[in-house]
């Protein structure tokens, strides 16, 4: 957080807006994505007994929050705010939000509808090839 490198933060409550409920019916690409998500979740269940899966038919599809940030980077300055970078206690990992550190971009929301529609359109294009 003290580095001079630009930092964009997508908090988990924003990231979780990118859940999907259907991908398998998009031909081979959709089936491949579905199979990968299923295998990952089954692996996590084996390693962490308290991992709660399946939890309905919602799937987190990875880095869509990053893709949304990049898609909207220059146009949607209303989706984020610039705040001082927090200090982190390296023993407890607690954030101290009252710092005079450099400013970082923190997303409060994202256009998940547009980003997921873009994903589905690209999967459909791949399915037709």
Whether the CB-CB separation of 93 and 77 falls below 8 Å is answered with no
Nearest to 18 by CA among 122, 125, 118: 118
Range name among 35-39, 60-64, 121-125 with the lowest pLDDT average? 60-64
Backbone angles phi, psi at 68, to 5 degrees: -60, -40
In the chain, where the domains are located:
8-128
Judge whether residue 22 has pLDDT over 80: no
Q: What confidence tens digit (pLDDT) does each residue in 69-95 have? A: 998 877 888 999 999 999 998 899 898
Which pLDDT band holds residue 62 (cuts at 50, 70, 90)? low
Among left, alpha and beta (phi > 0; psi -120 to 50; other), residue 35 is alpha
Q: What confidence tens digit (pLDDT) does each residue in 88-122 have? A: 988 998 988 888 899 999 999 999 888 888 988 88
Side-chain-side CA neighbours of 4 within 13 Å: the count stands at 0
Mean pLDDT score, 27-36 = 84
Nearest to 122 by CA among 29, 21, 20: 29
Backbone angles phi, psi at 74, to 5 degrees: -90, -20
**Higher model confidence: residue 118 or residue 22?**
118
Mean pLDDT of the chain: 83
């Amino acid at each position: 957080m003290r580095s001079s490198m630009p930092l964009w933060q997508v908090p988990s409550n924003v990231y979780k807006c990118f859940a999907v409920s259907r991908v398998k019916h998009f031909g081979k690409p959709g089936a491949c994505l579905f199979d990968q998500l299923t295998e990952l979740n089954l692996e996590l269940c084996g390693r962490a007994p308290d991992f709660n899966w399946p939890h309905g038919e919602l799937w987190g599809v990875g880095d869509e929050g990053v893709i949304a940030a990049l898609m909207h980077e220059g146009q949607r300055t209303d989706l984020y705010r610039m705040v001082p970078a927090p200090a982190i206690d390296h023993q407890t990992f607690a954030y101290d939000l009252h710092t005079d550190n450099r400013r970082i971009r923190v997303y409060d929301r994202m256009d998940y509808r547009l980003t997921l529609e873009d994903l589905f359109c690209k999967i459909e294009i791949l399915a037709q090839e």
